[in-house]
Structure 1
């Protein structure tokens, strides 16, 4: 009986990229979220089209761009929406790479530039990217002094989920979606679903995919990979800190030995006081 109750309570978390991609397959869920960050009523977003996630390569040596969710809107604008569960050292460079690839992928050689439509990159990050308190940032290409826009063809949106637990923000549709993507329990989802019809649709979709045994196995495999990767990064940071301390101690010992050599202390005493070997002290003396 207890096992059955546990099974009934299982629900996937949207911050796991596998779950996020499954959610974005649902047109109503996409419409609700896209409407929130574009600040337009979701019902006004018509004729959305899911596009292939793999971007073209022009040359053999080029990198492919593999997108999480790629959408084309009615007027031709393209969106790449990504959930990044693990901290990424070069996120800004990566997002620009994908945005640029998506932009040039719109036309073929010989076609006119007027066919190029606006491209939007949306990064939902389960880590902190910027030091400021804002959980949501939007970027364009501006002139530095008078703030004239060079072009509106590039647009980048960033949601930083960890900040939601640290600061208070005014209630908006976008905030509710950010909170939804950052939930850690079914109870949190239920509270948000009561406040927003599109999040309620996302909750229904979550229930559906969570009940699918094959999808659940894929989800748990991906969740395990994320946990293992985070553990590896944390272990690497700890080892790096220890290595840094060891290097710092060694540098201090070398500096101490040099000063004692200048004072003409015996090699044996220098080795004893500094912790270096007599051979190391001899090498310093010869330098």
Structure 2
């Protein structure tokens, strides 16, 4: 039977003296959290804490280090129930590795560099190495949009959904002409919604016409 385990992840902007006792405290709470009175101690499950440190990590110079309980002379492992991981984001940012990762370590470093990236260009470059990072990068880009840009983005996404829905229905029924007409209606509706949003936010009519693709008369009629 596969061994059960519990994980806890924690992010710290900068290293401090209280970090080690705090991560031990969180590990201890997690270790006994589900333990019930009267149960045998063998029911306790493996617990892993993962600490991401952005700046000033003091324990070593490794990107990823793992601590456990060892005998002091021969370094014999006492138990595998305790694992405390540290991921050094500052050290990962200094690593220079190929942009097409092959090894597991390379993927980890790219992931840490992505987390610690300060600008969009760097994030985009790192996102190209992984489908998951690419998906996360797209989510970050959407969250970074201004209110107007987000409205425009949502309008475009709605238009794509309308076109996809119409396409599926018409494909099943074989009405190609009906699809073309439905696509045109969906496109115009998205333009009108975009223009309405920009009007409520006080944009000049000229700017609205350029972005929404409508004539001044169509905008005035809204």
Q: TM class by shorter-chain length?
A: 0.5 to 0.7
Shift of 1:167: 5.3
Question: Secondary structure of the equivalent of 1:132?
Answer: coil
2:14–2:56 Cα contact (<8 Å) kept: no
Q: Tell me if 1:173 matches 2:107.
A: yes
Q: Give TM-score, length-normalised by structure 1.
A: 0.44
Q: Tell me if 1:204 matches 2:132.
A: no
Shift of 1:211: 4.8
Shift of 1:122: 0.5
Summarize deviations over 1:206-245 as a string: whole Å, max 9, x none.
Answer: 23444597xxxxxxxxxxxxxxxxxxxxxxxxxxxxxxxx
**d(CA) in 2 for partners of 1:115, 1:209:** 43
**d(CA) in 2 for partners of 1:103, 1:120:** 9
Q: Tell me the residue number matched to 1:78.
A: 6
1:143–1:150 Cα contact (<8 Å) kept: yes
**d(CA) in 2 for partners of 1:166, 1:96:** 28
**Residues 92/131 of structure 1: CA separation in 2 closer, same or farther (3 Å cut):** closer
**d(CA) in 2 for partners of 1:177, 1:142:** 30
Q: Tell me if 1:183 matches 2:111.
A: no
Where in structure 1 are there 5+ consecutive unaligned residues? 1-73, 214-287
1:128–1:161 Cα contact (<8 Å) kept: no
Question: Secondary structure of the equivalent of 2:29?
Answer: helix
Q: In structure 2, which of residues 46, 49, 55 is the aligned counterpart of residue 118 of structure 1?
A: 46
Q: In structure 2, which of residues 87, 109, 113 is the aligned counterpart of residue 159 of structure 1?
A: 87
**d(CA) in 2 for partners of 1:166, 1:196:** 20
Q: Tell me if 1:101 matches 2:29.
A: yes
Summarize deviations over 1:89-108 as a string: whole Å, max 9, x none.
Answer: 21011100000110011212
Where in structure 2 are there 5+ consecutive unaligned residues? 99-104, 148-222
Q: Map 1:124-143; keep pairs closer than 5 Å.
A: 124-130=52-58, 132-143=60-71
Question: Secondary structure of the equivalent of 2:55?
Answer: coil
**Residues 131/84 of structure 1: CA separation in 2 closer, same or farther (3 Å cut):** closer
Number of residue equivalences? 140
Shift of 1:125: 0.6
Summarize deviations over 1:26-64 as a string: whole Å, max 9, x none.
Answer: xxxxxxxxxxxxxxxxxxxxxxxxxxxxxxxxxxxxxxx
Q: Give TM-score, length-normalised by structure 2.
A: 0.56
**d(CA) in 1 for partners of 2:94, 2:145:** 33
Shift of 1:145: 2.2
- Runs of 4+ off more than 4 Å: 165-171
Question: Secondary structure of the equivalent of 2:4?
Answer: coil
Summarize deviations over 1:148-179 as a string: whole Å, max 9, x none.
Answer: 21111110111121223445568611111110
Question: Secondary structure of the equivalent of 1:156?
Answer: strand
